Chains A and B, each alone.
Chain A
Amino acid sequence: MIPLNWYLGLSAIVFSIGLYGFMSQKNGIRMLMCVELMLNSANINLVAFSSYNDDMTGQVFALFSIAIAAAEAAVGFAILMSIYRMRDMIDVDKLNILRW
């Protein structure tokens, strides 16, 4: 059986890739993809613990989290679509009208 630590290691690596991507990219769609990566690293954690503790709660929770991620992606892409129609681009760093 694969030890728990490997799963946690995988989860940490995926999360870091997601975080790096989120902080370094300007394109809105890429950023959303990175957010998905981070969410899924959390899901890996949940499922891993669930399996090791023989407790179904974690897997159920992971299902919830996937559903929410889907909804969040749908809303996010819808926003980006509207932005693209208004401005012909989706570079998030140019969308700074809500600052000082």
Chain B
Amino acid sequence: MAMENLAFLIPLLPALAFVLTFFLGKKLPSGGAIIPIVAIAISCVISLAITVGLLQNPEHFVTQSVHWFAILNLGILIDPLAAVMLSMVSFVSLLIHIYAVGYMSHDPAKPRYFAETALFTAAMLGLILSDNILQLFICWELVGLSSYLLIGFWFHKPGAASAAKKAFLTTRVGDVMFLAGIVLLFSDIFTVFNGNLPEGVYVLQFNEMFKLIPDLVAINSTILGMEVSHLTLVTLLFFGGAVGKSGQFPLHVWLPDAMEGPTTVSALIHAATMVTAGVYLVARTFPMFIAAPDSLMVVAYLGAFTALFAATMGIVMNDLKRVLAYSTVSQLGYMVLGLGLGAVIGAEAVGVSMFHLINHAFFKALLFLCAGSVIHAVGTHDMRLLGGVGKVMPITFATMTAAALALAGFGIPGTSLGFSGFLSKDPIIEGAYLFAESTGNWLPYLFAISAAFLTSLYIFRLIFMTFTGKPRTDYGGHESPSSMTVPLAILAILAVVFGALTRTSFYHFIEDNFVHLDIEALAELGGYHLAHHGHEPLLVLWMPLIVAVAGLVIAYLIYNRRVVDMSSIVSRNNPVYKLLYNRYYQHQIFVEFFSIKIIYEGLALAGFYSDKMLDWLVNGTSTLLIEAGDSLRKFQTGVIQHYAAAVVAGVGLLVILIKLVMEVF
């Protein structure tokens, strides 16, 4: 099909748009926004066409590959997993670009903004359709770079500059682990082939890697007295990369600070691109994870813990965007938990997790864009200063409510009726129950269900505090222009109906991703036995909805009816509130204690000694040279006769040498 041959244009067009906008943007109307919009629109059309082609013919993956050097290649692999991601990323990114035309209309640095978001989109699309882990890593780093540029877009604000640095450094920790994973994997593949890598086979291609899984499982090494399979190590290191990129505990600290950028950037980072990269990496290498004992367990526990941990902080934040940031961290926790459940539900885990990822992309982008619409109109992030915004901005209010209902997960269990967030979050919680039942690990389920309650609580707290009641300050405000409200409406429709329309076909589609692999055999390598959906008790099915409604009701009573006086709870004297409000003192622990006390001072101490050493080396070299020069320059007497004598002596020496060595005479 012709469309498949155009697949390489998907990342290339936005990359081209980056260059064009960067250099020509100033001369074009509205900062050259039209270039990235057209480029991404074409990418989106190609992606959708390929997705449709795959839907009709699911086993016919798009694969293209060109030789790079040695045993490495550059290539494209579009299987169902990549296809849905491509469509989602290009589509959401397109809407955000259109929205940004209105949102950024007052900013003088528009060309730079649109160039950087185009680069961001190009890097993310390139990451998704990579067919080998090295190419994926390169794009992964590009995504990190462009996120740094965008978070620090308003670099003259000290907060934005330091947030950008924090994001870059924190994700770097994960990136280093990811790179270490690739290096270890490569050396293990080398071992498998005894150093004779086969000709014409690109061993870092995903499908080649997956073929080698049984061999990799056999390689063990002993760490701290424990026998560890190298596959477990590799997958854990990959997961380390995902933890950094997808904001899982303990590397989530950069994500709330990333709110310093423009709101459109937050939407792009949190909904469509950067944060999903980590989840995508785990989904992409899922066959390796499922064959690795313990890795998936770590994934499940960490995901569930992050979901709860972030949600608890979400309920005390007063900044619109920070609430949404913690919400993102929490929802990413769900996705990671969903992947971790692969130990029990097999390849279905990828479908469940990706479904939540796609739905989350729609409703979280919508939430951010709604928040951006409010901020654009009233000029403040602080919910305490708002209230009653719903009357001035009815479209924003309606779309935000739809997004909130989707996030909180309202729907009727056992049917396909419900908001998209319900239809994707529910299977994860259900899966967690199954996981608990068959492995005896109840904590992930408990974390997940408590987080569902808190999710509903914090998002309706946000809705009630911002949109209902009486205005608490005189903020003015108006409904946003149509370039902003139209994307809102499109996203709202998707957030409401996307899940219900695509649920069954989506799962089948993603399961086709691994038709070429025997997932059950791989799971047995990992020592798992896949469970099948039994009949969960009715209470388990209804539990997510019950806690969601409970959250809504409590939020309504407290923040709208004000039946409870919050001032006694929201005070510095309440230790729980203080703990949450200070975000578990993460800043103190990570930055002030860990970074400054240990690392910085350690480096300073090491630096002191290394400086001494270096000084000695540098000064020694120069002293030696000066002394040598001092004695050697005595040869330059300035008397011409001496030079002539030297020339004669030299010629004489040469003659003698020639006589001795070459024996010409």
Contacts and interface: CB of A to CB of B under 8 A. Distances in A.
Say whether A and B bind each other: yes
Interface of A: 19, 22-24, 31, 92-93, 95-100
B641 A99 contact: no
Contact of A23 (B633, B634, B638, B645): B645
Contacts of A19: 644, 648
26 contacts: A19-B644, A19-B648, A22-B641, A22-B644, A23-B641, A23-B644, A23-B645, A23-B648, A24-B641, A31-B640, A92-B640, A93-B639, A93-B640, A93-B641, A95-B638, A96-B637, A96-B638, A97-B638, A98-B638, A99-B636, A99-B637, A99-B638, A100-B633, A100-B634, A100-B636, A100-B638
Interface of B: 633-634, 636-641, 644-645, 648
A19 B648 CA distance: 9
Contacts of A22: 641, 644
B294 to A, nearest CB: 74
Contacts of B637: 96, 99
Given A19-B644, A31-B640, A100-B634, 6 more contacts: A93-B639, A96-B637, A98-B638, A99-B636, A100-B633, A100-B636
Contacts of A100: 633-634, 636, 638
Q: List 7 A-B pairs, minimum CB-CB distance, nearest first.
A: A99-B638, A96-B638, A100-B633, A99-B636, A23-B641, A100-B636, A23-B644
B653 to A, nearest CB: 16
A95 B639 CA distance: 8
A100 B636 CA distance: 6
Nearest to B640: A92
A92 B638 CA distance: 9
A93 B641 CA distance: 8
Contacts of A97: 638
Contacts of B634: 100
A23 B642 CA distance: 8
Contacts of A24: 641
Contacts of B638: 95-100
Contacts of A95: 638
A96 B641 contact: no
A99 B636 CA distance: 6
> Which of B633, B634, B639 is the most central at the interface, judged by chain A CB atoms within 10 Å of its CB?
B639
The prevalent SS among residues of B at the interface is: helix
Nearest to A25: B641
Nearest to A93: B639
Nearest to B636: A99
Nearest to B629: A100
A96 B640 CA distance: 9
B643 to A, nearest CB: 10
A38 B634 CA distance: 29
A66 B641 CA distance: 24
B614 to A, nearest CB: 32
A24 B641 CA distance: 7
Contacts of B639: 93, 96
A57 to B, nearest CB: 22
A54 to B, nearest CB: 25
Contacts of B641: 22-24, 93
Contacts of A98: 638
A93 B638 CA distance: 8
A36 to B, nearest CB: 15
B628 to A, nearest CB: 14
B629 to A, nearest CB: 10
B122 to A, nearest CB: 63
Nearest to A31: B640
A23 B639 CA distance: 10
A31 B644 CA distance: 11
Contacts of A93: 639-641
A48 to B, nearest CB: 20
Nearest to B648: A19
B635 to A, nearest CB: 9
A23 B641 CA distance: 5
A92 B644 CA distance: 13
A23 B638 CA distance: 14
A47 B291 CA distance: 93
Contacts of B645: 23
A96 B638 CA distance: 5
Contacts of A23: 641, 644-645, 648
A24 B640 CA distance: 10
A23 B637 CA distance: 15
A23 B633 CA distance: 22
A7 to B, nearest CB: 20
Nearest to A97: B638
B115 to A, nearest CB: 59
A30 to B, nearest CB: 12
A12 B644 CA distance: 17
B147 to A, nearest CB: 60
A54 B644 CA distance: 35
Contacts of B640: 31, 92-93
Contacts of B633: 100
B549 to A, nearest CB: 95
B91 to A, nearest CB: 77
B454 to A, nearest CB: 83
A28 to B, nearest CB: 9
Contacts of A31: 640
A31 B641 CA distance: 10
Nearest to B645: A23
A42 to B, nearest CB: 13
A12 to B, nearest CB: 13
Contacts of A92: 640
Nearest to A26: B641
A97 B636 CA distance: 11
Nearest to A24: B641
A22 B644 CA distance: 8
A93 to B, nearest CB: 5
A89 to B, nearest CB: 15
A37 to B, nearest CB: 14
Nearest to A96: B638
Contacts of B648: 19, 23
> Which of B636, B637, B641, B645 is the most central at the interface, judged by chain A CB atoms within 10 Å of its CB?
B641
> Which of B633, B634, B638 is the most central at the interface, judged by chain A CB atoms within 10 Å of its CB?
B638
A31 to B, nearest CB: 7
A99 B638 CA distance: 5
Contacts of A99: 636-638
B526 to A, nearest CB: 78
A6 to B, nearest CB: 20
B644 to A, nearest CB: 5
A7 B641 CA distance: 28
A100 B632 CA distance: 10
A41 B640 CA distance: 21
A100 to B, nearest CB: 4
